[in-house]
Amino acid sequence: MSEKQFNGRSAIVTGGTRGIGKAISLELARRGANVAFNYSKSADEAERLKAEIEALGVKAYAAQCDVARTVASAEFVAKVKEEFGGIDYLVNNAGITRDQLILRMKEEDWDAVIDTNLKGAWNFSKAAIRPMMRNENGGSILNISSISGVVGMLGQSNYSASKAGMIGLTKSLAKEIASRKVTVNALALGLIETDMASGMNDEYREKIIAQIPLGRLGSVAEVADIACFMLSPSAAYITGQVIQADGGLAM
């Protein structure tokens, strides 16, 4: 792949300030893309990431935005189009977890996860699709899903449902907009080395790793590389697909 394969292109990464979202944002910037990302709370982290992206010689845009809010999401996308002159790529990465067995799960925990993870992806996709369809070369949407949405996980009825919903959204949108040269795919992740994973106690961590055929957790750098491939012209003939990056855990 060309080091600057995304020169002159513009991308939105939701939930871009930490972990997987941050890694994808930075890798897109390294490859020449202008990058916009939203944040929910940490303005300081957002400013630091914005500075890192700009130091790579591209434009950056950051703003606070609740992806679960339809109007706010549309306004964010419109502002990015104004700042960058267009939108080529969207990575729906924003997500939360509120794990609990269903008999103990509160309604607000179900609603919060579904609204952020699934409705958020719908909100941003709806807003970004029109400018993408006007591009001569179309565009690409990548939904960051999870193997929890493929096989289901104990105590994650809300999270698994939201991630399975993202897979359904991926396939439906892919059929709707393929004729306009816009591809839509999903990346179903396994356990990735993030702040969340680092909070696992050693015993539980070893138990999980023992179930992964490759014998380790994935890295955010690996996820970013896969994401960039899925957005790139090299993947232009791939749409409506769910790529599992899980070390073989859910095969």
CATH number for the domain harbouring residue 197? 3.40.50.720
Residue 112 lies inside a defined structural domain of this protein: yes
At 2 the pLDDT is 52
Residue 129 lies inside a defined structural domain of this protein: yes
Q: How many domains does the chain have?
A: 1
For the chain, the average pLDDT equals 95
Three-class SS state of 197: helix
CA pair distance 239, 158, nearest whole angstrom: 26
Query: Which residue in 226, 230, 247 sits closest to 238, CA to CA?
Result: 230
pLDDT of 193 > 50? The answer is yes
Q: Specify the pTM.
A: 0.95
AA letter at 77: V
Rounded mean pLDDT of 2-19?
92
CA pair distance 21, 46, nearest whole angstrom: 12
CA pair distance 155, 104, nearest whole angstrom: 9
Judge whether 113 and 98 are in contact, CB under 8 Å.
Answer: yes
At 195 the pLDDT is 77
Going by pLDDT thresholds of 50, 70 and 90, the confidence category of residue 1 is very low
Residue 156 lies inside a defined structural domain of this protein: yes
At 200 the pLDDT is 76
- Determine what percent of the chain is predicted with pLDDT higher than 90: 90
Complete edge-to-edge strand list for the sheet that includes strand 34-39: 60-64, 34-39, 10-13, 89-92, 139-146, 182-189, 242-245
At 202 the pLDDT is 83
Angle at 123 between CA 121 and CA 125, to 5 degrees: 65
pLDDT of 20 > 70? The answer is yes
- Say how many Å lie between the first and final Cα of the chain, rounded: 28
Residue 4 lies inside a defined structural domain of this protein: no
Residue 100 lies inside a defined structural domain of this protein: yes
Query: Tens digits of per-residue pLDDT, 154-187?
Result: 999 999 999 999 999 999 999 999 999 999 999 9
Tokens (6 digits) for 246: 């899980």
How do 34-39 and 242-245 pair as beta strands?
unpaired
Residues 6+ positions from 176 with CB-CB distance below 8 Å: none
Residue 63 lies inside a defined structural domain of this protein: yes
**159 is annotated as an active-site residue:** yes
At 203 the pLDDT is 86
Q: Out of 39, 61, 89, 159, pick the active-site residue.
A: 159
Residue 3 lies inside a defined structural domain of this protein: no
Query: Tens digits of per-residue pLDDT, 64-81?
Result: 999 999 999 999 999 999
Domain residues for the domain of 165 are 10-245
pLDDT of 123 > 60? The answer is yes
Three-class SS state of 139: strand
Going by pLDDT thresholds of 50, 70 and 90, the confidence category of residue 205 is confident
Residue 109 parent element (H or E): helix 107-113
